[in-house]
Structure 1
Amino acid sequence: MTSTGRHENWKPLRTWTRPITPTQRSCWPCDRDWEKNRKKLADCAPGFARGTTGGKDGEFYVVTNPIDNAADPKPGTLRHAVTQTGPLWITFKGSMTIKLEQELIVTSDKTIDARGANVEIYNGAGITVQFMMNIIIHGLQICHILPTKGGNIKDGGNHRGLRGASDGDGVILFGATNIWLDHLSLHHCADGLIDVIQ
């Protein structure tokens, strides 16, 4: 340790030296009218997420109801949206706090887009992506996630299944591919913030 409190092998982080591509420059953070073309976000995935389109090829689905029912989700809820078959671009009518009864199982070809609203997944279960692909999760606050005992959960289409206990991770990716987690705020999760299992 040096007198400044830094380890003697400490090196400053390198700055980004690559040029910004035209695609990156035209992406949503630089576009004042992003709300008019929300799906442009899918063209902005960098690095390993490149090519992930989420629900770009699907309809818009607006979440209007923060109430969660794990076994029988009602239309207008986040759980109802993420368990539909086919691609969907999911947005929120306004700011809301969602307390998940059980882990939220997200199916393939979905975008959860919380831009323009303050959306919290709070004081309940977290989000699970298991053996699914092509998902974008953007702009959520995921905090105070707790372990759950498991139970009957709708996990896609018309299927409901008995799930075991969850550990209290904010987000779990299990055997998932082409997943882009972007601009998430995670804290106070009982087990871990993001758990990735091959």
Structure 2
Amino acid sequence: MAGHQVINFSFWSFLLVVVMVMFFTINVSSVEQSKIKGMEMNVIDQCWRFNPEWRKHRQQLAMCSVGYVGKMTNNIGKDLVNYKVTDPSDHPLNPQPGTLRYGASKIQGKIWITFQRDMNIRLERPLLISSFTTIDGRGVNVHIANNACLMIYKATNIIIHGIRVHHCRPQAPEMVMGPNGKIMPLGQVDGDAIRLVSASKVWIDHNTLYDCQDGLLDVTRGSTDVTISNNWFREQNKVMLLGHDDGFVRDKNMKVTVVYNYFGPNCNQRMPRIRHGYAHVANNMYMGWVQYAIGGSMGPSLKSQSNLFIAPTENKEVTWRKSSNAIGDTWKFYSIGDAFENGASFIDTKGGQVKKPNYSLEQNFEVVDVKFVRSLTSSSGVLKCGKTSIC
């Protein structure tokens, strides 16, 4: 009986998404319809950007995610707390009401965080985000920069959307307010824009990340069920790490979807670098690299599908493989429908079969032909949202 209830809930949740999209599309004015006809949006953006009154229906976003994160139904509901950041200051141990840390770390339960106005936030120590938290920067210009940045530590059901995170710096071991408002010790932090540690069901969408001391996005220590979509990664040496280190075998269960992102200019490597687990990398735009675009170690599995790789002047090869033992790793890197310009090349695994993502109904999405990638990634990063129009 319980199984039938789960199936019924999933069916009605999926049906609700369809009805919401149809309703908002139908109610767009004729003027907005004419604007929309000239735009090509990917399936995530089609779900909410057609609605010129998205500000009144922010929670619609939670039903738009695809890939391994699934739908973010646990981030919305009648028990949701709407919280507005009014104060850009920060205190790592005793955050005040109105600050980002108060909303993201102290308040319990489901919380949807928005921002009153444009602001630059300099975090004194890493911001540890509690479970069931959405950080929604749409409609304003929010920078988290010039010191500590974001960490998702042993938390689940997180959305980070529409934030600029840059110039993140390493942090010495310190006490900090952790998830659920508990003060905890935090060890050395390397200076990543966003780091996931033992986290699950995390959606990183439409953010602009650049110029950090270590990396831009790390998915580590058993983190899984992650979708990284519509982001703009630029001006960075190490871009994206999937898998903690060669010895952390629990990352074999890691599943990550990387879709509709724009890499470049001036990205060196790790787009992504993967260890142990599985990644579906689809419909992304690669504007060059220095060392490599996609690489890894410890026998990871990766399906590169309908991405556009534009090679730099020097190194034309997309992939890189690190051998971790004398025998050599079992590599499963497959390229399906990718396009290669300026002499780019991709070394496939010989023999075997392409490992499918095996998405569920709510995770599944259609990977479009690579000829549309330029247009579908043209609005990657933080969106410019007018006060009275669609984003």
- Compute the TM-score of the two structures, normalised by the length of structure 1: 0.85
State the match for 1:140 in structure 2.
Answer: 163
Residue of 146, 149, 153 corresponding to 2:172: 149
Which structure has more relative contact order (CA 8 Å, sep 6+)? It is: 1
Partner secondary structure for residue 145 of structure 1? coil
Q: Which has the larger radius of gyration?
A: 2
State the match for 1:45 in structure 2.
Answer: 65
| Offset at residue 54 of structure 1 (A) | 5.8
State the match for 1:62 in structure 2.
Answer: 84
| Offset at residue 68 of structure 1 (A) | 0.7
State the match for 1:29 in structure 2.
Answer: 49
| Offset at residue 150 of structure 1 (A) | 2.8
* Residue 158 to residue 195, structure 1, CA distance change in 2 (3 Å): closer
* Residue 178 to residue 157, structure 1, CA distance change in 2 (3 Å): closer
Partner secondary structure for residue 193 of structure 1? strand
Residue segments in structure 2 that go unaligned for 5+ positions in a row: 1-16, 22-42, 223-391
In the alignment, the residues of structure 1 paired with residue 150 and residue 161 of structure 2 have an alpha-carbon distance, to the nearest angstrom, of 13
Q: Once superposed, what is the RMSD of the aligned Cα atoms?
A: 1.6
Partner secondary structure for residue 180 of structure 1? strand
| Offset at residue 28 of structure 1 (A) | 1.6
Query: % of aligned pairs identical?
Result: 37
Residue segments in structure 1 that go unaligned for 5+ positions in a row: 1-20
Which residue identity does 1:81 align to in structure 2?
G
State the match for 1:3 in structure 2.
Answer: none
1:94 matched to 2:114? The reply is: no
* Residue 162 to residue 78, structure 1, CA distance change in 2 (3 Å): same
1:120 matched to 2:143? The reply is: yes
- Residues 122 and 144 in structure 2, CA contact (< 8 A), matched pair in contact too: yes
- Residues 153 and 179 in structure 2, CA contact (< 8 A), matched pair in contact too: no
* Residue 188 to residue 44, structure 1, CA distance change in 2 (3 Å): same
State the match for 1:10 in structure 2.
Answer: none
- Compute the TM-score of the two structures, normalised by the length of structure 2: 0.44
State the match for 1:77 in structure 2.
Answer: 99
In the alignment, the residues of structure 2 paired with residue 190 and residue 163 of structure 1 have an alpha-carbon distance, to the nearest angstrom, of 18
State the match for 1:180 in structure 2.
Answer: 203
Q: Number of aligned residue pairs: give it.
A: 178
Deviations 1:128-167 (A, max 9, x none): 1111110100000000000111312111334101211210
- Residues 155 and 179 in structure 2, CA contact (< 8 A), matched pair in contact too: no
Which residue identity does 1:64 align to in structure 2?
T
In the alignment, the residues of structure 2 paired with residue 111 and residue 148 of structure 1 have an alpha-carbon distance, to the nearest angstrom, of 25
State the match for 2:369 in structure 1.
Answer: none
- Residues 54 and 135 in structure 1, CA contact (< 8 A), matched pair in contact too: no
| Offset at residue 82 of structure 1 (A) | 0.8
* Residue 54 to residue 188, structure 1, CA distance change in 2 (3 Å): farther
State the match for 1:4 in structure 2.
Answer: none
In the alignment, the residues of structure 2 paired with residue 51 and residue 105 of structure 1 have an alpha-carbon distance, to the nearest angstrom, of 23
- Report which of the two has the higher share of helix: 2
